[in-house]
Amino acid sequence: MNYGHPIEFGTFITPLNDDPGAVVELAVLSESLGYDLVTFQDHPYQPRFLDTWTLLSWVAGRTERIRIAANVLNLPLRPPAVLARSAASLDLLSGGRLELGLGAGAFWDAIGAMGGRTLDPGEAVDALDEAIDVIRGIWDASERGALWHEGEHYQITGAQRGPAPAHDIPIWVGALKPRMLRLIGQKADGWLPSLGYLKPGDLQRGNRIIDEAAVEAGRDPREIRRLLNISGRFETERDGFLIGPSEQWVEELLPLVVEDGVGTFILASDDAATMERFAREVAPALREAVERALPGAFSAAPVRRAAVRAKRREGIDYEAIPASLADTVVEPGDAGFAGVRSTYLRGGSPGLVLMVKNTEQVVDALAFAREHRHLPLSIRSGGHGISGRSTNDGGIVINLSRMNAIEVLDLANRRVRVGAGARWMEVAAALEPYGWALSSGDYGGVGVGGLATAGGVGWMSRKHGLTIDHLRAVEMVLADGTVVRASDEENADLFWAVRGAGANFGIVTSFEFEVDEVGDVGWAQLVFDASDVAGFLEGWGAAVEAAPRDLTSFLIMGPPRRGQRVFAQVMAVVDSDDPETIVERLQPLADVGPLYNQRVVITPYASIMANAALGDYDGQGEPAVRSGLIEHITPEFAAAAELLIRSGVVYFFQIRSVGGAVSDVEADATAYGNRSANFSVIAFGASRQRLDAVWDELHHHFDGLYLSFETDPRPERIADAFPPKTLERLRELKERYDPTNVFRDNFNVAQLVPVGRSAEPAYELTTGSIA
382 in contact with ligand FAD (CB under 6 A):
yes
Q: Give the list of residues 6+ apart from residue 517 with CB closer than 8 angstroms, or none.
A: 414, 435, 436
Can you tell me the distance from the alpha carbon of 52 to that of 737, in angstroms, rounded to the nearest whole number? 57
486 in contact with ligand FAD (CB under 6 A):
no
If the CB atoms of residues 103 and 450 are measured against ligand FAD, the closer one turns out to be 450
Q: Give the list of residues 6+ apart from residue 496 with CB closer than 8 angstroms, or none.
A: 669, 670, 671, 729
With CB under 6 A as the contact rule, the residue among 164, 428, 451, 677 that binds ligand FAD is 451
Closest CA to 159 of 149, 169, 147, 174: 147
Q: For residue 541, give the 3-state DSSP assignment.
A: helix
Interactions with ligand FAD, residue window 678-697 (CB under 6 A): none
670 in contact with ligand FAD (CB under 6 A):
no
CB of 338 to ligand FAD, least distance (A): 18
CB of 483 to ligand FAD, least distance (A): 13
Residue 553's DSSP bridge partners are: 572
Among the listed ranges 195-203, 220-228, 385-393, 719-727, the one in contact with ligand FAD (CB under 6 A) is 385-393
Can you tell me the distance from the alpha carbon of 749 to that of 739, in angstroms, rounded to the nearest whole number? 11
If the CB atoms of residues 78 and 717 are measured against ligand FAD, the closer one turns out to be 717
With CB under 6 A as the contact rule, the residue among 138, 420, 570, 742 that binds ligand FAD is 420
User: Positive or negative CA dihedral for 21, 22, 27, 31?
Assistant: positive
If the CB atoms of residues 63 and 711 are measured against ligand FAD, the closer one turns out to be 711
Give the total of residues touching ligand FAD (CB under 6 A): 38
If the CB atoms of residues 298 and 709 are measured against ligand FAD, the closer one turns out to be 709
Can you tell me the distance from the alpha carbon of 258 to that of 1, in angstroms, rounded to the nearest whole number? 6
446 in contact with ligand FAD (CB under 6 A):
yes
Can you tell me the distance from the alpha carbon of 89 to that of 162, in angstroms, rounded to the nearest whole number? 10
CB of 419 to ligand FAD, least distance (A): 9
Closest CA to 6 of 226, 321, 306: 226
Please tell me the number of Cα atoms within 13 Å of 517 on its side-chain side.
3
Among the listed ranges 31-39, 78-86, 440-448, 590-598, the one in contact with ligand FAD (CB under 6 A) is 440-448
708 in contact with ligand FAD (CB under 6 A):
yes
CB of 612 to ligand FAD, least distance (A): 8
If the CB atoms of residues 173 and 486 are measured against ligand FAD, the closer one turns out to be 486
The answer to whether the CB of 505 falls within 8 A of the CB of 494 is yes
Can you tell me the distance from the alpha carbon of 529 to that of 590, in angstroms, rounded to the nearest whole number? 11
If the CB atoms of residues 101 and 500 are measured against ligand FAD, the closer one turns out to be 500
11 in contact with ligand FAD (CB under 6 A):
no
Interactions with ligand FAD, residue window 294-333 (CB under 6 A): none
400 in contact with ligand FAD (CB under 6 A):
yes
If the CB atoms of residues 66 and 507 are measured against ligand FAD, the closer one turns out to be 507
With CB under 6 A as the contact rule, the residue among 45, 107, 434, 443 that binds ligand FAD is 443
The answer to whether the CB of 476 falls within 8 A of the CB of 588 is no
389 in contact with ligand FAD (CB under 6 A):
yes
If the CB atoms of residues 579 and 739 are measured against ligand FAD, the closer one turns out to be 739
Question: In which region does residue 225 sit, left (phi positive, over 0), alpha (psi from -120 to 50) or beta (all else)?
Answer: beta
If the CB atoms of residues 458 and 768 are measured against ligand FAD, the closer one turns out to be 458
Among the listed ranges 120-128, 208-216, 384-392, 588-596, the one in contact with ligand FAD (CB under 6 A) is 384-392
With CB under 6 A as the contact rule, the residue among 456, 522, 541, 713 that binds ligand FAD is 456
Dihedral angle over CA of 713, 465, 497, 669, nearest 10: 120
If the CB atoms of residues 378 and 670 are measured against ligand FAD, the closer one turns out to be 378
With CB under 6 A as the contact rule, the residue among 15, 185, 441, 444 that binds ligand FAD is 441
With CB under 6 A as the contact rule, the residue among 453, 576, 674, 678 that binds ligand FAD is 453
If the CB atoms of residues 418 and 526 are measured against ligand FAD, the closer one turns out to be 418
Closest CA to 659 of 498, 457, 513: 457
Q: What are residue 666's phi and psi, to 5 degrees?
A: -60, 145
Among the listed ranges 45-53, 146-154, 383-391, 636-644, the one in contact with ligand FAD (CB under 6 A) is 383-391
Q: Which helix (H) or strand (E) holds 595?
A: strand 595-603
DSSP label at residue 507? E
Question: In which region does residue 665 sit, left (phi positive, over 0), alpha (psi from -120 to 50) or beta (all else)?
Answer: beta
574 in contact with ligand FAD (CB under 6 A):
no
**Residue nearest ligand FAD by beta-carbon distance:** 450
149 in contact with ligand FAD (CB under 6 A):
no
Can you tell me the distance from the alpha carbon of 318 to that of 341, in angstroms, rounded to the nearest whole number? 17
With CB under 6 A as the contact rule, the residue among 458, 539, 704, 723 that binds ligand FAD is 458
Binding-residue pattern over the window 712 to 751 for ligand FAD, x denoting contact by CB under 6 A: ---------------------------------xx-----
The burial class, CB within 10 Å (0-12 / 13-18 / 19+), for 596 is middle
Among the listed ranges 128-136, 235-243, 435-443, 696-704, the one in contact with ligand FAD (CB under 6 A) is 435-443
- Count of residues in the chain: 771
Neighbours of 766 (CB within 10 A): 19
Closest CA to 181 of 240, 255, 113, 128: 128
The overall longest dimension of the chain from CA atoms, in Å, is 97
If the CB atoms of residues 379 and 608 are measured against ligand FAD, the closer one turns out to be 379
CB of 729 to ligand FAD, least distance (A): 19
Among the listed ranges 135-143, 310-318, 341-349, 660-668, the one in contact with ligand FAD (CB under 6 A) is 341-349
Binding-residue pattern over the window 489 to 528 for ligand FAD, x denoting contact by CB under 6 A: -------------xx---xx--------------------
390 in contact with ligand FAD (CB under 6 A):
yes
If the CB atoms of residues 337 and 344 are measured against ligand FAD, the closer one turns out to be 344
101 in contact with ligand FAD (CB under 6 A):
no
Closest CA to 397 of 330, 304, 338: 330
Can you tell me the distance from the alpha carbon of 141 to that of 335, in angstroms, rounded to the nearest whole number? 8
Neighbours of 159 (CB within 10 A): 16
Can you tell me the distance from the alpha carbon of 299 to that of 8, in angstroms, rounded to the nearest whole number? 13
Can you tell me the distance from the alpha carbon of 300 to that of 592, in angstroms, rounded to the nearest whole number? 64
Please tell me the number of Cα atoms within 13 Å of 241 on its side-chain side.
10
Closest CA to 41 of 32, 51, 31, 33: 51
CB of 757 to ligand FAD, least distance (A): 28
Interface with ligand FAD (CB under 6 A): 343-345, 378-386, 388-390, 400, 420, 441-443, 446-447, 449-451, 453-458, 502-503, 507-508, 708, 745-746
